[in-house]
Structure 1
Amino acid sequence: MSARPPGRPPRADLVAAAAAVGLFTVAAVTGGVLYLTGRPVHASAAPLFAQWLPHVGPGTPLAVLLAVLVWWRGPALAARLPWRPLLALSYAAAVAWTLSLALVDGWQRGVAGRLTTEFEYLHEVPGVTDVPAMLAGFSGRILDLQPDSWTTHVSGHPPGALLVFVLLDRVGLAGGGWAGVLCILAAALVAVAVPHTVRLLGTDEAARAVVPFVVLFPGAVWSGVSADGLFAGVTASGVALLAYGAVRGRAVGAVAGGTLLALGCYLSYGLVLMAPIALAVVVLAGWRWRTVGGALIGAVPVVVAFTAAGFWWPTGYHLVIERYYQGVASDRAYGYWVWADLALVTVAAGPVAAVIVRRAVLAARGTVAWRRPGPRLSGLRRPGLRLSGLPQSSGADPAGWLLVLAATAVIVAADLSGYSKAEVERIWLPFTVWLMAGAALIPPADRRSWLAVQAAVALTVNHLLLTGW
């Protein structure tokens, strides 16, 4: 049998990516048909929440240049640079990529004006003159159809999200421009946190393979500019600090990680679903109660502070569910969105996500096996879980596939819940970025091809559509 051509991915990988793209195509066609038959799915460019608007902008040349540079030199630089300079370069490149994509829409429309609309956080900032009073009365303004209801995004999140922008305003960085820059700078932290977590829990080689993929992450289309990009950066940093504390035995890392992950729950209710990813970190590091205890020590003060200020998280959560169905969510059919949301992962995480998930499943099946060790004890054998010892260069070390499968489980749970019907290309950013943790599962010879596909998806979406929020 002849070898496959260099740079051409295996057929199974191509089939997985084609199936993901096919699912998105079916979702788009179905959304159009439903619209024509008088049953709209309430997404302007279904399944994407966007408007058709082919355009170019000042960010176009920079975005194309960055895509070419990362495709051309990214894997080689990731393989040979010292680790800390590599992380610094990864962060800078991610900031430039995210900002350039946002500037395709222009400074005002793409950055400065994104968070200032009547639906967004900055619309409420001038009215917050007393932070303690805002926190104490926050839940009372969640439901719609009352004179003082919060705007759409403020009501749909715990008060931590609004508090971030209030504090930004209070330190003198007022307005949409500063808020947009903050979101971009925070979102780019994933380009440091994800590979560093993989390195701590797995191998240096696997972590270096992740870097170009988190830099050219297609979800940057939505993380610049949206608060969900900020949420992704905060929680990814929390996971990385937790991994640092667990692996290096540093209590301060576990405490800081617990603090950021708890803060994430007060930025967005759905970020409680980061728990399986955090659990995967603890398992990979070798379960230590000291790590768990440190994380709880970091988390408890956050919970206590918000509760003492008058915001009880469970009350807010139940009110948000009620508010959710007061809006357009009640008209978005679960039967469509339960699978169309998954199709959106093809865009937000890129087609390579399907390849990585497929390979993660295979790696998990090949790496973890049940065995019956040792001699019989009282006539019985005791089963145990063992690692088969596959070569680390195969990318099959548990850090590669367990983080991916944990993120996949989170996405499936969020999807089945029905509380994320549409707009998940933005809402699921804190989860989808962790699918890139398995980049080392892709054969080295194929990585540049998939990087080109990832960049092409982001550039195509950003130049054909005007994304919402």
Structure 2
Amino acid sequence: MQLSTRTPARLRMDLLAAASAAVLVAVAFAVPRLAGEEFRRTLYAGSAPIFGIWLPHIGWGTGPAILIAVLVVRYGPEFAARQPWSRLPGLAYVTSLGWTFALAMVDGWQRGFVGRLLDRNEYLREVGGVTDIPAMLRGFSGRILDFQPDSWTTHVSGHPPGALLFFVLLDRVGPGGGAWAGAACMFLGCSVVPAILVALHALGVEHRARAALPYLVLAPAAIWIAVSADAVFAGVTAWALALLARATRESAWGTTAVGAGVLFGLGVYLNYGLILMAIPALILLCARRAVWPLLPMLAGALAVAAVFTMAGFWWLDGYHLVVQRYYQGIASERPFSYWWWGNLAAAVCAVGAAAIGGVPRALSPKMLRALDPAALLVAGCLVAILVADASGLSKAETERIWLPFTVWIIVAAGFLPRRAARAWLAVQAVGALALVHLLLTNW
């Protein structure tokens, strides 16, 4: 009797959370349309809160995307529950790649994939000019500020040199060009799915991983994983957390913890904001009641910092200069009064209604008191997002910028009741398909 009276209340909470998120998104889309032209101009996002323009369209990726969505909605939950664990990460990765590539192809091969990273503000515009990597690292900070003859392009200046270095090295080892770079971003970005599964399995909550798998595969975030550099950042830090999770099961000073630290360190030199990954990392250690991996993890991260510092780049100098550069551009005009909550609406678009519906269950007092690892990871990434939002340094484009955090919030959908999984997955898929067909995103 007690269970039967509690279940409807939980269901109402799920629906209320999802409905509240839907209202937030609707209001965030409506306000710019209802406000005056001057206000819309200051947003610098034609389809605010999403960075893009309104352009209803279809493409040859439409059919495959719908087919993948139907198959995952129909068979995904049962498949994830019954398949041997050893097969699931690989199968989830392949399915995620198919979903992500199909969504990109809704916009077309050139417009939706090859041309994304060839924009004048992107990394590839600077790759050809880097002929001396040590010199680039030594002089990187001197080119961050705008309005200089040799100022870096927008995205290069807004990140530590690790981001540019990634694309430079990628260009050196392959054919180069937008397709090559886009494929690398997509393949690395989609690896967040198996990384999250590996992490949850290592933390002893395989059932959470199985329940979350279909939602991770059909994540609306895939729209921005193909293709953006932030997909790479998400992949690197997801595997850092996965290695850290595995390290908690090993003996002291295991190499896995050092490897996790190296990846966390690389993340911080790819994106300044990824310093906030310390929040879910520390929460993960608390969930496992394991403090010892902290020292080898720090050793690995500091080794990365030492390499960049000896090469001539001091992270704190870069960060302070980036803050100055940030307010040299459109960020000085974008109103924080809209974006502090518009950012959250954009993040909702990336995680989907199912993830938001599962948040009340994941963050319930029962789960938090039990130190459920999956719930604590969701909580840690939510806290990181709120800190980033409050900083004022993430005004717009958070559907892309916050990918390293939002992909973990999708795990909350795994807390939803299994009997309702198909309905929630359908909502998740419809939301992603609507976004990609109604808007032409910039990423």
TM-score bin (small chain): over 0.9
For 1:173 and 1:281, locate their aligned partners in 2 and report how far apart those are by CA, in whole Å. Answer: 39
Taking a change above 3 Å as real, the CA distance of residues 428 and 35 of structure 1, as seen in their structure-2 partners, is farther
DSSP-derived class of the 2:149 partner: coil
Measured against aligned partners, the alpha-carbon deviations of 1:285-305 in whole angstroms (never above 9, x if no partner) come to 22232x112212211221011
2:274 aligned partner = 271
1:413 aligned partner = 387
1:423 matched to 2:423: no
2:289 aligned partner = 286
DSSP-derived class of the 2:270 partner: coil
- Out of 420, 426, 432, which is 1:458 matched to? 432
RMSD after superposition: 2.0
1:392 aligned partner = none
DSSP-derived class of the 1:238 partner: helix
Higher mean C-alpha displacement, 436-445 vs 32-41: 32-41
Contact persistence 2:199–2:241 (CA under 8 A): yes
Contact persistence 1:206–1:439 (CA under 8 A): no
1:440 matched to 2:414: yes
For 1:467 and 1:299, locate their aligned partners in 2 and report how far apart those are by CA, in whole Å. Answer: 34
DSSP-derived class of the 2:440 partner: strand
DSSP-derived class of the 1:421 partner: coil
> How do 1:193-342 and structure 2 match up within 5 A?
193-249=195-251, 251-289=254-292, 291-342=293-344
For 1:283 and 1:422, locate their aligned partners in 2 and report how far apart those are by CA, in whole Å. Answer: 32
Question: How much has 1:245 moved relative to structure 2?
Answer: 1.1
Larger Rg: 1
1:15 aligned partner = 16
Structure 2 unpaired stretches of 5+: none
Contact persistence 2:145–2:322 (CA under 8 A): yes
DSSP-derived class of the 1:124 partner: helix
Letter aligned with residue 252 of structure 1: T
Question: How much has 1:9 moved relative to structure 2?
Answer: 8.4
TM-score where L is the length of structure 2: 0.95
DSSP-derived class of the 2:248 partner: helix
DSSP-derived class of the 1:466 partner: strand
Q: Determine what percentage of the aligned residue pairs are the same residue.
A: 51
Measured against aligned partners, the alpha-carbon deviations of 1:84-125 in whole angstroms (never above 9, x if no partner) come to 211110011111111111111111111111101110000000
Contact persistence 1:280–1:402 (CA under 8 A): yes
- Out of 180, 183, 187, which is 1:181 matched to? 183
Question: How much has 1:409 moved relative to structure 2?
Answer: 0.4
Measured against aligned partners, the alpha-carbon deviations of 1:146-201 in whole angstroms (never above 9, x if no partner) come to 00000010000001001011001111331110000000000111111112211211
1:468 matched to 2:436: no
Contact persistence 1:45–1:52 (CA under 8 A): yes
Question: How much has 1:366 moved relative to structure 2?
Answer: 2.2
DSSP-derived class of the 2:363 partner: helix
For 2:190 and 2:40, locate their aligned partners in 1 and report how far apart those are by CA, in whole Å. Answer: 38
DSSP-derived class of the 1:225 partner: coil
For 2:332 and 2:55, locate their aligned partners in 1 and report how far apart those are by CA, in whole Å. Answer: 28
For 2:59 and 2:40, locate their aligned partners in 1 and report how far apart those are by CA, in whole Å. Answer: 34
Letter aligned with residue 402 of structure 1: L
Question: How much has 1:353 moved relative to structure 2?
Answer: 2.6
Question: Where is the helix percentage greater, Structure 1 or Structure 2?
Answer: 2
Taking a change above 3 Å as real, the CA distance of residues 49 and 413 of structure 1, as seen in their structure-2 partners, is same
For 1:163 and 1:433, locate their aligned partners in 2 and report how far apart those are by CA, in whole Å. Answer: 24
DSSP-derived class of the 1:100 partner: helix
2:86 aligned partner = 84
For 1:114 and 1:368, locate their aligned partners in 2 and report how far apart those are by CA, in whole Å. Answer: 41
Runs of 4+ displaced beyond 6 Å = 6-9
